[in-house]
Amino acid sequence: MPYIKTRDHVDLYVKDWGDGRPVILLHGWPLNADSWDDQALALANAGYRVIAYDRRGFGRSSQPFTGYDYDTLADDLAQVIDATGATDATLVGFSMGGGEVARYMSRYDGKGLVAAGLISSVVPYLLKDDTNKDGVDGSVFEDQMKAPIRQDRPKFLHSFAEMFYGVGYISSPVSQQMVDYFVTLGLQGGLPGTLACIDSFGKTDFRGDLPAFRVPTLIVHGTSDKVVPIDTAGRAAARGIAQATLVEYDGAPHGLNVTEKDRLTDDLLTFVRA
């Protein structure tokens, strides 16, 4: 390490901090493993081994043209777990990363895991259709995300970061520098993966994966999340996962790992200790 080669020859950049029982952190779109640094450092200082990696196509990992479906992404996760020798691990996914948690649970029967976390997660199903009336209209993914990315990706990332962190006209829970940092991380991703993953997290139905959650599962979601609405995701996931504990952060936006970072860190530490 720090690189693990997948079965289809993609190099994944892996950060491995500390010693103790493993906690594996999966990042959101369009970021990389560095977006977990505040929580990762606290967990490592508390005596846990923290493993975080850049999803294929993002950060310092390879940028293949294909392989952004959740089956492949779950296979990548399985290879990271195998290569690091992580056992009795807690697996935590933020936003898009929640989908990898769900698909790993069903595809690999939760091998090696003792607990799971879904933070601002896209699970169980975002897309609005006849079976998901409270979902997000498909035009959002095509017209409000993919089209402006193709036209001016830095501009899109800047506006998306403001929604991500709940920046308003009058006040902001984060600094302008944090918004700029978001854009910097987002621009490290390759364009094929950045676009393809919108379809993956926006249109993949994880409802059939929920029965595979057979471990205690912490679900944290902000009530003011405008990227992944809590009714569509966090509350629906909590209803479908047998051992779920839902913690709602009143008024918190999507990027609560930054805006509510101390509270989230404390909640994660309490959960993994239990």
The full set of domains in the chain, from first to last, is 3-273 (3.40.50.1820)
Q: What is the mean pLDDT of residues 4-15?
A: 97
Q: Would the pLDDT of 192 be above 80? A: yes
In angstroms, what CA-CA distances link 129 with 103, 136, 158, 199?
21, 9, 29, 15
Collapsed DSSP state (helix, strand, coil) of residue 258: helix
Residue 13's H or E segment, with its range, is strand 11-17
Strand partners, 93: 26, 118
Structure tokens at 149: 């990315």
In angstroms, what CA-CA distances link 180 with 107, 113, 157, 183, 261?
37, 35, 9, 5, 18
pTM score, whole prediction: 0.97
Q: Would the pLDDT of 260 be above 70? A: yes
Q: How high is the mean pLDDT of the chain?
A: 97
pLDDT tens readout for residues 58-113? 999 999 999 999 999 999 999 999 999 999 999 999 999 999 999 999 999 999 99
221 catalytic? Reply is no
63 in Cβ contact with 57 (< 8 Å): yes
Residue 196's Cβ-side half-sphere holds a number of Cα atoms within 13 Å equal to: 19
Q: Regarding predicted confidence, which is higher, 234 or 172?
A: 234
109 catalytic? Reply is no
Collapsed DSSP state (helix, strand, coil) of residue 86: coil
pLDDT at 132: 95
- Among 76, 209, 225, 267, the active-site one is 225
| Single-letter amino acid, residue 252 | A
- Among 35, 61, 62, 95, the active-site one is 95
Distance CA 133, CA 126 (A): 10
- Among 75, 200, 209, 254, the active-site one is 254
Collapsed DSSP state (helix, strand, coil) of residue 162: helix
Distance CA 34, CA 48 (A): 17
Q: What is the mean pLDDT of residues 161-183?
A: 93
| Single-letter amino acid, residue 107 | R
Distance CA 182, CA 188 (A): 10
Q: Would the pLDDT of 142 be above 60? A: yes
Distance CA 100, CA 237 (A): 14
pLDDT at 170: 73
Q: Would the pLDDT of 36 be above 90? A: yes
Distance CA 185, CA 140 (A): 22
Collapsed DSSP state (helix, strand, coil) of residue 188: coil
Q: Would the pLDDT of 169 be above 90? A: no
pLDDT at 171: 77
Q: Would the pLDDT of 201 be above 80? A: yes
38 catalytic? Reply is no
Which has the closest alpha carbon to 244: 105, 52, 37? 105
State the distance between the two ends of the chain, measured CA to CA, in whole angstroms: 30
Q: Would the pLDDT of 1 be above 70? A: no
Structure tokens at 116: 């799971």
